[in-house]
Amino acid sequence: MITNDSVRRGRRCALGLALALAIVHPGCGGNNDDDPETFSDTATIGVLGTFQLGFTAQRNGAVDANVNWNDGNNDIDIYATAGACPNFDVLLAGGCSVIASSESSSAKPERINFNISDNTVYTVWALNLGPGTETVTITLTAH
């Protein structure tokens, strides 16, 4: 016959086991919203050509942007804009909200970081100043 004391001890053991498993395996049962998200794309662009990677933030946080290319003789500059920015000409004319940029003539790769807000559209732009055509990779890590 099972007594009330046995049932209570059994429940305490089960609760203790569940708690221990939750501590040992905290990722079980769902995604961790604190995990970084990475986006990347590559394109070949001519001198004075641009390439962009856009995304909509899924949470508040920050983005680390890394733009790399093959030939160290080429100069690539990068810009981050918030909100709708239709093209690079509008950006150059001051019609877009530039929130971060790097215009170093010697940095390779170019890097920037900026804060993001949930449900906001952002674009990272790469501008090839040459002297030659280049294959450029934009990598964004949101955290």
The domain at 37-142 falls in which architecture? Sandwich (2.60)
Q: Per-residue pLDDT tens for 40-92?
A: 999 999 999 999 999 999 889 999 999 999 999 999 999 999 988 999 999 99
Query: What are φ and ψ of residue 17, in 5° steps?
Result: -65, -45
Per-residue CA distances from 101 to 30, 45, 77 (Å) = 36, 19, 8
Confidence check: pLDDT of 8 > 60: no
Reply yes or no on whether the pLDDT at 12 is more than 90: no
The three-state secondary structure class of 50 is: strand
- What is the pLDDT at residue 82? 95
pTM for the whole thing?
0.75
